[in-house]
Amino acid sequence: MSGARVDYIAPWWTYWLHNFPHINLSFQTVDNTFSPKDNNYLQSLIFLAIIAAICLGFNLLFLLVYLTCLCCCKKGEAEETKKSPSSCFVWIAVFAGLVCW
């Protein structure tokens, strides 16, 4: 493959993921060289995917709690009153962003 492009610049997140500590499912560190046929390396990628899935679960849980509070707790208020949106949504969005950033 002599015609390969040499001017490719990898995105910032690939460097971040490559330098992230690679831990397999037994909580042992793994060499971070790219080797997709190595079982320990694949386990470390699965571990990263599990971390991302847990963050997504927390995000969805906070969103569910917020929407439940929004729908159920505010039914007693009059609909004609105009109030500024509560800061509850802002803080949930900030916390969810920090958890999964």
Tell me the per-residue pLDDT of 54-90, one tens digit each, with 9 for 90 and over: 988 888 888 888 777 776 666 555 555 555 556 666 7
Q: What's the pTM value of the predicted model, to 2 decimals?
A: 0.59
pLDDT at res. 100: 65
- 10-42 pLDDT, tens per residue? 888 888 878 888 888 888 888 878 888 989 889
Token look-up 């962003």 returns 97
What is the model's pLDDT at position 20? Answer: 82
Tokens of 101: 């950033």
Q: Residue 19: its pLDDT value, please?
A: 83
pLDDT value for 77: 55
User: Does the structure show a pLDDT above 80 at 44?
Assistant: yes
55 or 6, higher pLDDT: 55
The packing angle between helices 87-99 and 39-72, to 10°, is 180
